[in-house]
Structure 1
């Protein structure tokens, strides 16, 4: 019985231990979650390593209205967002509030303020409930209405406002959305946040009564408007398959058909062009014409070349990684025609400038040191743009994709006639300051960080040193050093503009200490940051900063039409409010350069997004081979393709190998694409050099005499005539004449007779190959087996002996005849017959003489 009673007690004790263990585990887990999800562990969205911190909620900013506060806008800001449970447990009591910090007073804050912890945003509104509970995977949208100023009521009839941001005056204000919740097994904590900038160009009346707005609104000072210019890039990554030389009727081959979608209605390039069309040719709701004067279209000639090829029909690789694989017809011919026609109609009506070909890395291009490749990459683009768009674009100005160049690239630009360049303001520095260190950031920077971290900004226009001026003339006047003018753009608006769109990169000129993954922020938040960055200079006139602003989006921009239109509207708002004045790109380039000397200073982050040095030597080698091939080809009048037309696509492939496209976000993929393109070009050149060759003769070639010519046949499979020289190995005892430079017709063969002299009879093996006139090997070497029938010196001795014997015998016969002695060789001949024969011969002689006498 006692055993029966002990069993339940044992089970009870076991259950009690299990219950206490479970309770203890829950408590420990709750403490851990409280510690991990509390304020001290939270970081700004997009900052830090999210893999080390448990994530329960994701807060996304959906819209901000108005996105820019003005004296005439609503006095209430409506913010919508979405909270999503991205964890593996339920979250209860979800609530959101808005916080702000003071207006940004230093341009670095346009970036660094977006990394501050929530404790740095002291002005906070009350929390607003969003949801009682969200299960894993669930989401809930919310709306916050916060007043701009204390007492803001918004427009009559609008939803009530329960809180205010209490903004004191115009400026650019960082805002933060803070979401709190209680995860299962945890306590209340801040689980995520989202940051964005709110530009305030003026404070509206808090009453919402239009009659009182003018009296109670606060405007920003307009006594020093900023002269503003904005470039509008149209570019794309290289699409043409490498290793295909020029032809007359061949179709273009693209790596993929993504460009067809970008050109079609709703595509990236269609939307960018559409937004610009609305600005330059506005309708009733478009951008004003005076703002259009501040815009300049910047076009990648490689994009134009590709789109132009697409209009004639094209093929696409079935697999982009298999250039030798099957292909299919492209689907974007009609879209390419329509887009190119729109661009041809727009470009002549506005400022248009050419970008470097295929967004080439100018520093890597300078390191290659190939004049033909350099000319194609930076000099030919303006001609391509003018030819394809049937217009006259701006010449003599370079716009590097990276926003920076090294000294070799600056020298290269000057040697090719460039008088101006557009660079980031931290890509130049006062002369003599490069190489100095800065305490800004965790790494040592060169003088490029002067403009990024100091209070003194780089002037709007500076001059780089040019070549050493010549000696002073005899009249005592000196020749000034022209150098090259550099128009600088502010890196902070440029960084913010680069983040707008579907594929936000971080530019190479952005300082390392303010870099973070902006892709984790919503597109709305990134657009707000760009609006704030565009407005900061206009709202903050400072004596040490120029009242000039060049807005420079990335060349391969991924903004859609709505985002692009919003940015253009912001520019229009700045102009209409008197905070900015439009300035044309031509006027910007004409600005007098600062009197102090400057020099290029490569930004510290530029090397990470640059083309690796490992590509320089191979590109240089293949560029030299293209030049050798070009020097071999012959231009025939009225025959296509010409040598330049034939080899130019291969040279373009090498330029595309040095492209900076996609390097800011996917460096390894860019290296793979560049290596594939280089390999394809190398293989193609190998095939072209093998296409001109000497044909191996069949069997053994027999020389009929000592001086019989050697017959050879050369073949040219290229569509262009080629100049060649024969390279023949001459065996001992053989003399083979060099026939010099010869021409083989396009896609044809030609026979050649090589004067040859062999002094004896023997079998020979003669190695034969052909080269370019400069001695570069062509085709495949071969050899000719020759059998000579010449007897040489033995034949000469025999002939001489026979001649001597014949002379002796004839002399002997004549000698006996003169002496009247019969020749022993005539013994046995009848004397009568001899006399009759002699009489006949004398008679015949007389008859012939009478016939000759007149």
Structure 2
């Protein structure tokens, strides 16, 4: 390719999910020691992965190639846009449609070609167009509507690949589905794309690898070899997962180069094709909902994603950034949202998509449950005894997440116990002791239920039932205490009054005189004391 004509006509489609995975592998990873389904659960024994060096080598070679050729991002994880529109979550849809280019640019260190949405494995449906329309202007490169024969003459039909506007923000730049299907059938693992009309279905395993390769090459050339057919822009879009052998790839690239050098085709970069579609888009064209059962994700998959992504966004809204690591709540929960996109990936074979989706979503749901359960109240396991009616209720909160979380404490107190609302608490990772102000107006043992919730009301962890014993008597104890204090003040005042007037207190009239009450013969023996006459206190009191 001395003049780079072939290179100008090629563009490398890269799945950002693949880049994220390989880039993470370059930093080291672990794999489970178990091969059963429980291998994906936390706590399973692991061992270091052996692919770190291979991942780094592959990524470096891809970076070198990306600097010499056009690069275009695919939808994140090749997610089914029609299925995502059925989920109807704006955040999940934006992740699939809008973040791919930034990820590719950051990891590969290039400026990717923007403005196109590559749909290599599924049709452009009405729902998919609605999702794209809500996420900004784009050119959707998808298979043209095509049914094997012309509906009027019955002759073999030709796919209409002229650009057309399908919504205010979306222009479709179709490719010939027959050519795309022939390319998908090449290689060691042939597949029939779900956009292919049932009338065009063939038995892929019936032909040899060489025969399917020849079919792919013939589909690339057949229009160019007929001089009676007017020229048109032809987009060749193979499936995202394309298992070609070296012979297959060499034959396809050689055929493309021969077509260009012989003057049968003119190279057009992807950026030019996007600009042409934006300039000459016809329209509008109404799209229909794709109702074919093959490769369609069932309603249970959609329902699971809808429920789980709602819970996950609720948890994410309560998370705050960790000042030590800089990790935010959105970043912390992003891998789970990406797992949901992988669950509806069109890169899997149509026959196995739903089964794999259920397995992946079960793991995602269990992980979300673990996140909610990691924020809880530590159960003391015993009982609390309150010293006074205003003794605070001691608690300990635990946050097992890697980022802080905002929580609210809900205390279900019995009648007679008033609990002061402590408001919103920012709970850092780890443990946090807490004292809840309360006021008790009874004396008995009661059960107090305490639970944690997010500011939006989502339950966190398991509720705790505390056994509390109160010694407070409330108003009765207060009245008794005040009465006793008043009596003591009166008695003390009465004694002081008599002392100031020099009069004996009537309460002391029946007490013996201290001098007479003490015996004077300390030095006498016991016998002498027995002979000493009894001394009695004089009944007259001295003044």
**TM-score class normalised by the smaller sequence:** 0.7 to 0.9
Query: Aligned partners of 2:410 and 2:273: how far apart in 1?
Result: 59
1:673 maps to what in 2?
Answer: 356
Query: Aligned partners of 1:501 and 1:728: how far apart in 2?
Result: 64
CA contact (8 A) 1:451 1:458 kept: no
1:766 maps to what in 2?
Answer: 448
2:199 maps to what in 1?
Answer: 513
2:391 maps to what in 1?
Answer: 708
Query: Aligned partners of 2:288 and 2:505: how far apart in 1?
Result: 112
Query: Aligned partners of 1:778 and 1:452: how far apart in 2?
Result: 64
Listed as ranges, the gaps of 5+ residues in structure 1 are: 1-281, 428-437, 442-448, 467-482, 834-854
Corresponding position: 1:731 with 2:414: yes
Instruction: Tell me the CA shift for residue 687 of structure 1.
Output: 1.3
Evaluate the alpha carbon distance shift between residue 327 and residue 344 of structure 1 in structure 2; reply closer, same or farther with a 3 A threshold: same
Corresponding position: 1:465 with 2:167: yes
Corresponding position: 1:524 with 2:226: no
1:472 maps to what in 2?
Answer: none
CA contact (8 A) 2:295 2:353 kept: no
2:400 maps to what in 1?
Answer: 717
Evaluate the alpha carbon distance shift between residue 806 and residue 716 of structure 1 in structure 2; reply closer, same or farther with a 3 A threshold: same
1:290 maps to what in 2?
Answer: 5
Alignment of 1:396-411 (within 5 A): 396-411=115-130
| 1:137-186 per-position Cα deviation (integer Å, ceiling 9, x unaligned) | xxxxxxxxxxxxxxxxxxxxxxxxxxxxxxxxxxxxxxxxxxxxxxxxxx
Q: Choose from 314, 317, 322 the match for 1:631.
A: 317
Corresponding position: 1:552 with 2:234: no
CA contact (8 A) 2:297 2:353 kept: no
Instruction: Tell me the CA shift for residue 563 of structure 1.
Output: 0.9
2:348 maps to what in 1?
Answer: 662
2:108 maps to what in 1?
Answer: 389
CA contact (8 A) 1:509 1:603 kept: no
Query: Aligned partners of 1:823 and 1:304: how far apart in 2?
Result: 99
1:380 maps to what in 2?
Answer: 99
Q: Choose from 3, 23, 28 the match for 1:313.
A: 28
Alignment of 1:132-147 (within 5 A): none
Evaluate the alpha carbon distance shift between residue 584 and residue 634 of structure 1 in structure 2; reply closer, same or farther with a 3 A threshold: same
Q: 3-state DSSP class of the match of 2:71?
A: strand
Query: Aligned partners of 1:728 and 1:425: how far apart in 2?
Result: 61
Alignment of 1:214-229 (within 5 A): none
CA contact (8 A) 1:690 1:780 kept: yes
2:285 maps to what in 1?
Answer: 598
CA contact (8 A) 1:501 1:557 kept: yes
Query: Aligned partners of 2:291 and 2:472: how far apart in 1?
Result: 77
Q: 3-state DSSP class of the match of 1:698?
A: coil
Instruction: Tell me the CA shift for residue 503 of structure 1.
Output: 0.5
1:614 maps to what in 2?
Answer: 300
Evaluate the alpha carbon distance shift between residue 335 and residue 456 of structure 1 in structure 2; reply closer, same or farther with a 3 A threshold: closer
CA contact (8 A) 2:121 2:240 kept: no
Instruction: Tell me the CA shift for residue 723 of structure 1.
Output: 1.9
Q: Choose from 802, 806, 812 the match for 2:484.
A: 802
Query: Aligned partners of 1:486 and 1:452: how far apart in 2?
Result: 26
Query: Aligned partners of 2:287 and 2:155: how far apart in 1?
Result: 17
Q: 3-state DSSP class of the match of 1:575?
A: helix
Instruction: Tell me the CA shift for residue 350 of structure 1.
Output: 2.1
| 1:167-207 per-position Cα deviation (integer Å, ceiling 9, x unaligned) | xxxxxxxxxxxxxxxxxxxxxxxxxxxxxxxxxxxxxxxxx
Alignment of 1:747-766 (within 5 A): 748-766=430-448
Instruction: Tell me the CA shift for residue 824 of structure 1.
Output: 2.7
Query: Aligned partners of 1:410 and 1:727: how far apart in 2?
Result: 45
CA contact (8 A) 2:143 2:174 kept: yes
Instruction: Tell me the CA shift for residue 561 of structure 1.
Output: 2.1
CA contact (8 A) 2:127 2:289 kept: no
Worse-matched range after superposition: 534-543 or 682-691: 534-543
Query: Aligned partners of 2:212 and 2:301: how far apart in 1?
Result: 35
Query: Aligned partners of 1:638 and 1:798: how far apart in 2?
Result: 55
Corresponding position: 1:360 with 2:79: yes
2:263 maps to what in 1?
Answer: 578
Query: Aligned partners of 1:578 and 1:342: how far apart in 2?
Result: 32
Query: Aligned partners of 2:121 and 2:88: how far apart in 1?
Result: 20
Query: Aligned partners of 1:385 and 1:643: how far apart in 2?
Result: 23
Q: 3-state DSSP class of the match of 1:516?
A: coil
CA contact (8 A) 1:725 1:773 kept: yes
Query: Aligned partners of 1:344 and 1:741: how far apart in 2?
Result: 48
Evaluate the alpha carbon distance shift between residue 825 and residue 397 of structure 1 in structure 2; reply closer, same or farther with a 3 A threshold: same
Instruction: Tell me the CA shift for residue 765 of structure 1.
Output: 0.8
Instruction: Tell me the CA shift for residue 621 of structure 1.
Output: 1.0
Query: Aligned partners of 1:596 and 1:555: how far apart in 2?
Result: 28
Query: Aligned partners of 1:542 and 1:616: how far apart in 2?
Result: 48
1:41 maps to what in 2?
Answer: none
Corresponding position: 1:537 with 2:223: yes
CA contact (8 A) 2:378 2:395 kept: yes
Listed as ranges, the gaps of 5+ residues in structure 2 are: 516-543
Corresponding position: 1:371 with 2:56: no
2:170 maps to what in 1?
Answer: 484
Query: Aligned partners of 1:411 and 1:593: how far apart in 2?
Result: 21
Q: Choose from 234, 242, 246 the match for 1:561.
A: 246
What is the Cα-based RMSD across aligned positions, in Å?
A: 2.9
Instruction: Tell me the CA shift for residue 804 of structure 1.
Output: 4.2
TM-score normalised over the length of structure 2 = 0.86
Structure number with the higher strand fraction is 1
Q: 3-state DSSP class of the match of 1:590?
A: helix
CA contact (8 A) 1:499 1:505 kept: yes
CA contact (8 A) 1:364 1:613 kept: no
Instruction: Tell me the CA shift for residue 649 of structure 1.
Output: 1.3
2:536 maps to what in 1?
Answer: none
1:850 maps to what in 2?
Answer: none
Q: 3-state DSSP class of the match of 1:681?
A: helix
Q: 3-state DSSP class of the match of 2:314?
A: helix
Q: Choose from 369, 373, 378 the match for 1:695.
A: 378
| 1:782-805 per-position Cα deviation (integer Å, ceiling 9, x unaligned) | 111111111122212223333443
Q: How many residues align?
A: 508
